[in-house]
Structure 1
Amino acid sequence: MANKLDKIQQQALQRYLKFEKEHQAENYAAATEEKMMTRSSIINHHDNLAIERIINKSDLFPIAHLQAGLDVSKAVCRISIRGRSGQLEGYGTGFLVGPNLLLTNNHVLETAEAAMYAVAEFNYEDDVHFKPRDIISFRLDPELLFITDEALDFTLVAMEPYNANAVPLATFGYLPLLPKPGKILEGEYVTIIQHPKGGPKAITIRENEVKFISSDYVHYVSDTEPGSSGSPVFNDQWMVVSLHHAGVPDPTDPNKWIANEGIRISSIIQHLSDKRSSLETEQARKMLDYLLSVVMPGSTKAPMEVGVLASDWYAEATGYNKEFLGKEFIVPLPQLDNEMKKDVAATSEGKETLDYTHFSVAMSKSRRLAFFTAVNIDGDQLVDVKRKNDRWYFDPRIDKAYQLGNDFYKSNDIDRGHLVRRRDPNWGIDAVKANEHTFHFTNSSPQHKNFNQKVWLDLEDYLLDNARDHDMKVSIFTGPVFRDTDRNYRDAQIPNQFWKVAVMVKDGTELSATAYLQTQENMIDGDLEFVYGQFETYQVPITKIEELTGLDFGELRKADPLAKGQAARVKRAGDISI
């Protein structure tokens, strides 16, 4: 083991010196404009300080950063390496990367036999009073799944779902591996959670500058010790950017270190993808598929289950309430024109809308998507319902043939975009039920992930945040614009534009209704690849939405401050007025 580790360290040193020479020769700029654009694209848009940290080297963090670090640390464990007779041979670090899946170094667990006798120990750490927590140990299950690679120095191994005391491994969560580029730039800092020298869990936080990034490796200046091999290396957003595996020795003094080296997550994921077909059992392939469905290049979509809710889930759902804003401010559903009425997917009772908890949906049979959705939002009673899974449902009240299901969304960058946002109807005593109701295919529409998770989300955030911050009641109508020229894909069409109409009572005396139009028209090329920078948001007259969709909003158009005039481009959420 010692000779192998020496070899790994010398190889790391040679790579480090090579990269250093190349960067000096190129007068390398750590953060080009293109790289910075990629980096910023995966930062949570609520993290207002992130770009300041990257560009101006600010040390300011939201206080929640510390809690987020504690949360991810639960998935990190000490690995006790034992021989066949149970004798202790050494320590390493590992971390959970999926349900029942552990990632560490090849030089920590070289063979399935070594994994068979090893033990993963969670909670090996001190509490705030410097007292040790109770260690919770789990056995590994290499017979179920074991993938290792000496060149990339990683091992992925299955674990038992429950330990001898019936404690579920799921208690400790897992760290998703996202191979999308832009998780770290040279000149940024990384954080490492580890078990140095096999001791209690420790952290080196931020004073660890990334020096070089290559196709397979990341080099960073950091404090680690023997036993830290197999540790997760995080960026400032607590995303895993590499698997720590070796120190880089000082070429002039073998007792000193000049840097550390980690294996890039994208390289590990690519190797796992290549190995998938060689796995012998269906169960092992399913475990790896779950991991890869979260992390396949170009996709950050979570694995999804498809289900059907029982009829009693719909029995008491009253849907959208037209008197929600007050009996003196009645806001009825928009009316379908005659052609749309012929195309509407009616229930067995003949209803043109599907009623859910606090919202309703009118479906097009030909497009298998909603003509519109309508939701009531009570900002004073909003409940924060956590998103626990990604299970979507067919609505049994209409034919499944009229609902665009999950096959359309597989293996591409198209999201199941909520039309009624998941959080919008989650208020009052039925909040949990409302949350579940939003996960119907009737409430989804194809949206490119960069549109759904950025531009569309910004508008949704703005509307919901205003309702919550001002304890307002708001009714919102949402839908796609259907055109014959919409892109055909997998026997369906992807809408180019989406709209919203937000209605509230202004100053307690009159209705105010504002309409917004957002486009993803130039979002994709022929292969569904994202084209950056083509998203636009406009505040438009309600009459424009009527013209584009064929819907009739009736008297509501009189409450529109843009009843006269042209579309107004919205550059940021703060420009929107409701």
Structure 2
Amino acid sequence: MSNMPFEIDLIFNQNLISMQQQHALNRYIERSNNREHLKSELQHKNPLEVSKPERVFFRKAIINPLDGLALERIIEGNDLFPISYFEAGLKAAKSVCRIEVRDRIGRVRGHGTGFLVSPSLLLTNNHVLADEDAALFSLAQFNYELGLDLKERQIKNFRLAPNRFFLTDENLDFTLVAVEETSADGAKLSDFAFLPLSPNKGKVLVGEHVSIIQHPSGAPKMVANRENKILDIFDDFVQYETDTQPGSSGSAVFNDEWMVIALHHAGVPDPQDRTKYIANEGIRISSIVQFLMNQSQNLSDDQKILFDELSKGWELVENTSEEIFSEKLALDWYEDSTGHDCEFLGDDYEVPHPTLHPELETDIALLKNGEKILNYTHFSIVMSESRRLAYYTVVNLDGNKLVDVGRENNWFFDSRIDQKYQCGPELYANNEIDKGHLVRRRDPIWGDLAQKANKDTFHFTNCSPQHKNLNQKTWLDLEDYILEKAEKFNFKATVFTGPVFRSDDVTYRGVQIPAEFWKVAVMVKEDGKLSATAYLQSQKHLIDDLEDAYGAYKTFQVPVLKIEELTGLDFGKLRNYDPISRVEGSIGHVIETSEDIKV
């Protein structure tokens, strides 16, 4: 492995390169114990037995049935291949190019690798082409390789066209950019074909070998053929052994079917000696595809044409644990939906919608009729345009009229609001993330409209990504407490719920995942006085690793003022009815049992 795992010497990107290396090392260290366990298992079992079932299922599905030795290669490490394997490798190599990174006056600042993924679009690393300016002055150089006579073949220089298409992401460290159709000497970009991207997971298993076609240190095209073995598979990344050949930033990582499984981007530095590297890391193609799918609605019409060429044959990866629907209900379904009733608790106890900070107000995802509030049966929602999730929900709960209704499994997009502002099923497929109801399903199910309210809660607007341990355990305990009290004592309650949006929230499949959630419960006490209590729960430590999250965490009762501070919402007079806000110096306390809740 080279001492320069990124193979590009761009001074202005050194901080980014160091950050990517550190993230890669952190992932490597966090999974060290699991990896050693896997190594032990692999000594006695084959990768098909130790890898996740959904990966194994797809891995088997993409093997050509005519390749009788394919399973033997995976299970027993058999190195026999049909001679066509090399022909397929040469075909794949045509689409790989050297990227010559230049500045505005034509100086060469470094080299990276890229590859065509559609007739017009090229994929490389963000740290190779970080912005449109970098792409505008750089070149994609195809055919830079040695012939049978060991002489360099004629380079075909193509200019990049970021004005036509440019999409990048620092967290997933990729850049997708358009390429001009004709080279400086008249060659056609179509002569170099392209490597299609598959959205499916399971293209490789732990213990399998992969190959990397690259321009190491800007040299003529080379291949590290099956010199890397998969060490670990993360949600968005894959790590593989180092080899004796240096890797190149932006290289394509292939499985034995010459299918692209990852975009190479970083070396994992040895924590004992930062001049050496203990592994390589690539970004999973399935994660890049999911990000692109999430961003596709934001493209211009001309960009969508290029994107459609890229996405031909892509199919939504569905969650195998439950049936997923992404239908829309007809507009007349919502005609009589009045949503949150501000006087639900009584004429003398008005509980209005909170107001939003002016900056948040401009980010509200408007309905197609220009309104700001999505009204459903007994609850309402206000959505964030940038986060594609709810700023808050508010539900009216009548403990005297609760009805027992069977659970729905059909989830719907809301046709009153643009679908691009709603996180759909692609976010929740094949992972540890639940579609967490913000308005709890059982809360609005009361009275004559119980059936309609039940169905209304299954809108994507009413769910937020929550780790399963939050959604099914601690959060559920608090919701049960509020509902059971309302039912037992036949009282009404108005409950606000939402996520805490932070700028450093983890990005997953193009969506920033909230690490904390809050509730504000409002009710009238036996003495006729209003009570407004606020709660905060965190899943931050749970989403650091979406594959292997674990551990307990705490629930806090906090002042309403704290929720206002965290969210930018203003609950007005409700803060005056908060029992703990009147306690001098109170910052909140841990909730371990129902007796800890102060109303």
Give TM-score, length-normalised by structure 2.
0.48
Structure of greater relative contact order (alpha carbons < 8 Å, 6+ residues apart) = 2
Give TM-score, length-normalised by structure 1.
0.50
